[in-house]
Structure formats: structure tokens, C-alpha cells
Structure 1
């Protein structure tokens, strides 16, 4: 498995995305200069070093180490001890998503658990999303089911334990470069939403140089079939002959938007490479058709840029098991209610006994010397 680390830059705020300068790429990131100079293509054509370990024929994801084990979750839900739950699992009485469970199996939110066919409702804290950086080559489409049976990017991705990969935006069949994919539909939606203004950076090769007037039009905005569109930044990169390179950034990702913007001014795009999406840059040396998983720190930066980290924290608090109530020492019936919790009654409030002598006059008692007869009804 490729262990390179993608280049991550701090995410700009949405209000500053249009004016903030693009920082120089790190040494491990694909920079615009590398694309223009040809170093980007040269690096991908270099064969692996002899001492470099061969890639396995079938690459898989690392297991979810943070996912809780089934028998532990069942025991915490009060269904029995851990040993008892392990025994039920070993006897085949527990299923997960319709399949017999096995001892030590890990589960996550959304899994269907049944004991002897009876569904069990469990509260499991959601896990952080998983994100892949994929180097999409030209000729692949970003769809799960293509009616024309063209090769798709999803055929090269690792199998998820549950759910499916969702692309963060799309690249058309002739566009190459960085494509982010995640198992979280919520994160994919937030990363694509224009309200966050996450920049997409492209290296574009067009036929014919742009005039100053055409450059200004692309920055001010051009009218397309589905509405106006504009680049946030546009920089020249040189070129050879009629081919001219430009680095552009844009804060949205409509269908073939970059190509249509240049075509609206009469310039055909001969090559289009996405080299950055938000804070994630295409790692240099990541070969076409190869993916790598972002580590927890990089995923945290993505969720922080969209505000999703606060949502995950609130969900984790929501799924915290409630603390058991504290047992209070029992009080005898003759003792009555606690002094600190008087009962509410109708009428004027009754003063508490503070130990002081009451100012009320004492109630008149029987006169001294008066005969005290027996109580009515008392036996003589």
C-alpha cells in the first residue's frame, strides 16, 4: 500500500478564498511548475526502484481499529456478560447484516444486529469518515454504473466493509488529476457545497494564448448555459507553439465548467489536470489509477474546513451511554421528606423551624384546678 502522505495546506475561510494567494506547493505535492516543465509526466514514467517493494495485486483498506467489538457492545447494552455474548456468537445465534457473526467482529453504526432472529437496537457512536485521494487518468468516468460500459474509477478502489465510496465532485472522462472519495455522504456534500468556497486548482493547456481582455473576462465572469461563471485566479504558465498553459482556481464544480469557460472565448482545452481540491494537493509520485488513504490528521482538517468536526463531536456525545443514577441512602417512613426539599402546598408558605422562639402568643391551656373528666367514649 502506498504510504506517501498527501500535501495538506490549511483551509482558507470562505470569505478569503477569492483573494487569498495560493501558497507555493510543498516538495511532495504536484505543483503547476512541474506540470508545465514536463516533470509531472516524467515522474510517472520512471519505473519503480529495484529495492522498492512490489505492490500487492489486490490492495485493501486497513481494518477499522476504532470500531467496537460486537460482544462488548452487546454486553454494554445489558444483554449479558461478555463471555455470554461470545458464547452466543460462537453458537451462531447472532447475525450482523444477515450474516453469522464471528467472535471478535467489529461493528459500526448502521449494522443490523439480530439475536435468534430478533432485531436488536444498539447505539454506536459514529466513526470518523474515510477519505481517499485518487489519481484519475484520462479515459475513466466517475460513475458507479455506466450504460456505455466504459471503465470507471470505482473499479480500482478498495472494498468497504459497509457502505460505498462517493466522489467529491466529478471529473469528465478527458480530465485527469486529483479526485477525492469518501464513505461519508455528508462530508462529500459539504466539500462540494459552494457556500464553503473550497478552491479547485487546475493546470489547463489551451490552444492559443489569451489576450488581456480575455483574461479579464474570465476573472470578471462569463455567461454559460447554466449561469455566470468566473475564475478566482488566473496565471500564465508558458508553453510551446500554440499550446499555452494556465493555472486557474475556481470555487465551484459544475459539469465541464472550466472547459466551457475557455470554449466560450474560442479557446479549446487540450489538457486539464486538477492538482488541488481545498486543502488537499495531488501527491507527487502517485501514479495514475492509484489511490491512497488520508490519515486521521488530514481528514480532521477536511472536516474542520466544513464544520463537520463539530457535528461528529455532538453525535459522539449523543451516543455516550447515560451514567447510572446515584443511589441515595434510604430514609425511613417516619422521617418524612428531606428538609432541603419541602413539599409544595396551597396557601401561605409555612416558616421553617429555625430554633428561635415564635412571637405568637401561647395557646390557652386548661385552667388550673379545673376538673379533668374522662375523655368522651373512654371506658370508665
Structure 2
């Protein structure tokens, strides 16, 4: 007699650390679990953990425990690559405690510090880094001069750069003191050095720049130069975001073969 294909849904979710099998069975009966976007209520449901996408209460679940997701607070002076051809300080020093080969999602330029995601999940990295998916990032910029309310309005209304118009999703003035200002900018653009170019265009060159947020992830109190694994809640939020606009697997492979993400700020 042939064995049924796949494994039981409650076993897969219990193995992923979501809850006990008994609790998960209750979730199934209550209609709180979806497989590939469709709600399942049958306790005998079987899945393929390598290909099926599962979410509980709308939050994606990581079934593949070989995938690693790390948050780094990148210092200034470090280039966003795993091996720099010019022997500049790179990201390798921050990945030594993990056995997997991790790669950065997008980039921060050497003079910019802040939140950088490191992972071995190529599908997620592609979705999050590629400009076409428009993942929101939040930056805090210390700039020269006194930024006015009119300048903030100009940033959200839009300005013209050499490679086309751009506007911040949100902008707010946090502080002004001793000839400099702190500005918070929220953007979904992946254009190269976009924050620095925007602030220079409105007459306030950036002196210091840090990325505080990437999609649903917040830097929080993570010290500069430190890295940590994402929590289960953070992984769920990140995977949920990556699946919202993610193309089908075949299309995803084709996109990665032909597209390359632009450099972030």
C-alpha cells in the first residue's frame, strides 16, 4: 500500500515550533491556518514542507529550519559585501558564529550605519532587495543646517534628481541644534545613495546616516557592530512581507537570473 505523500500539517507546524500538535489541531478546526493561501479545516491535511507556504492567523511560518535570518547593526567603515576585492572591512566578521553561508539583503554604503539583514534564503533576499517590491526603509539623517517645515514638505512633495523625480513616503524633523538637524525619512526607493542625494538637493548635506527600520524590522537597542538572529515573530513578519508580492517559484527563478537589485542607501 502506497504511503500518503507529504506530512501532516500539525506535525510540520509542531516541528517548526508554532505550538503543540493538540493546539495546532484546534487552530485547524477553527480555520486559523492557510496552506498556499487557502484555509484548511481538515485534520488529515498533508503538506510538502519544501514547497507549500503556510500561515497562521495571517502570519507566515518558517518550515525550513535550515534557513537563517540575522539582523546586523552595521558600523560605518564597513562595506556591504562578504568579500571585498580591495581588502576593505567587510561583513564576514559578523557571521562567524553561524555555520551557514549568509549573504546581505541589499546594501548600505560604507559611510552609512544601521539595519542590514543577513540570510541564506535566496527567495526572501530577492524580494526584499529588489526595488520593484518597494520595501519601506526608515532612516535618521544628521544634516548640515537648520531644516525648516517648508523643506520637510518639499521632501514629501517631491524633488527632481538627475535620474528622475523622487519623494519621501514620510519625512519629519526630529531636532535642530548647533547648526545641524535630525531628519527622519521613510522611503521605499532602492535607488543608490538616495537619502544623501535627496538631502543634498534641498541644501542640507548628510553628515551622519543610520537605517533604523527595514520593512517590519526595527533596529531597537541592538548595539553598533552586533548581530543577532531574528525572533520567531520577526521571522514571521519578514516572511509574510516577502510572500505578499512574491512571484511563483518558476517566475522567481527567472527574475533572479535576469534582474539584480540596485544598491540601497
Q: Same fold (TM over 0.5)?
A: yes
2:87 aligned with 1:149, yes or no? yes
Which residue does the alignment assign to 1:166?
Answer: 103
Hey, which of these two has a bigger chunk of strand by percent? Answer: 2
What whole-Å deviation, never above 9, does each CA across 1:322-371 have from its counterpart, x for those lacking one?
A: xxxxxxxxxxxxxxxxxxxxxxxxxxxxxxxxxxxxxxxxxxxxxxxxxx
Query: Do the aligned residues in 2 keep the contact of 1:187 with 1:308 (CA within 8 Å)?
Result: no
1:130 match:
68
Name the residue aligned to 1:4.
none
Q: What whole-Å deviation, never above 9, does each CA across 1:10-57 have from its counterpart, x for those lacking one?
A: xxxxxxxxxxxxxxxxxxxxxxxxxxxxxxxxxxxxxxxxxxxxxxxx
Cα deviations by residue, 1:109-144 (Å, 9 ceiling, x for unpaired):
9xxxxxxxxxxxxxxx95463211101111111012
Task: Point out where structure 1 has 5 or more consecutive residues left out of the alignment.
Answer: 1-64, 67-108, 110-124, 313-380
Which one of 208, 214, 227 corresponds to residue 291 of structure 1? 227
Q: Any idea what SS the aligned residue of 1:292 has?
A: strand
Asked if residue 305 in structure 1 is aligned to residue 241 in structure 2, the reply is yes
Deviation at 1:227?
2.4
Correspondences of 1:1-380 after superposition (within 5 Å): 126-127=64-65, 129-158=67-96, 160-162=98-100, 164-284=101-221, 286-307=222-243
Name the CA shift for 1:310/1:251 in 2 (closer, same or farther; >3 Å).
closer
Alignment: residue pair count: 190
User: Aligned to 2:197, what secondary structure does the other structure show?
Assistant: helix
In the alignment, is the contact (CA less than 8 A) between 1:303 and 1:309 conserved in 2? Answer: no
Q: What SS does the corresponding residue of 1:148 show, helix, strand or coil?
A: coil
Go from structure 1 to structure 2 and tell me whether the alpha carbon gap of 1:259 and 1:227 turns closer, same or farther (over 3 Å shift): same
Task: Indicate how the Cα distance of structure 1 residues 310 and 234 shifts in structure 2: closer, same or farther if over 3 A, else same.
Answer: closer
In structure 2, the CA distance between the partners of 1:128 and 1:222, relative to structure 1 (3 Å rule), is farther
The CA RMSD over aligned residues, in Å, is: 2.8
Secondary structure of 1:275's aligned partner? strand
C-alpha separation in 2, matches of 1:193 and 1:147: 24
Aligned CA distance change for structure 1 residues 301 and 311 (closer, same or farther; 3 Å): farther
Deviations 1:256-286 (A, max 9, x none): 11001111122110111111111110131x2
Contact 1:300-1:309 at 8 Å conserved across structures:
no
Residue pair 1:129, 1:299 contacting (<8 A) in 2 also: no
In structure 2, the gaps of 5 or more residues are 1-14, 17-49, 51-62, 249-265
Q: Return the offset for 1:225.
A: 2.7
Alpha-carbon distance in 1 for matches of 2:135, 2:211:
13
Q: 1:147 and 1:129 mapped to 2: Cα distance?
A: 27
In 1, Cα distance between the equivalents of 2:109 and 2:246?
33
Secondary structure of the 1:237 match is: strand
The 1:157/1:309 distance shift into structure 2, 3 A limit, reads farther
How far 1:228 sits from its partner (Å)?
Answer: 2.1
* Residue aligned with 1:307, SS: helix
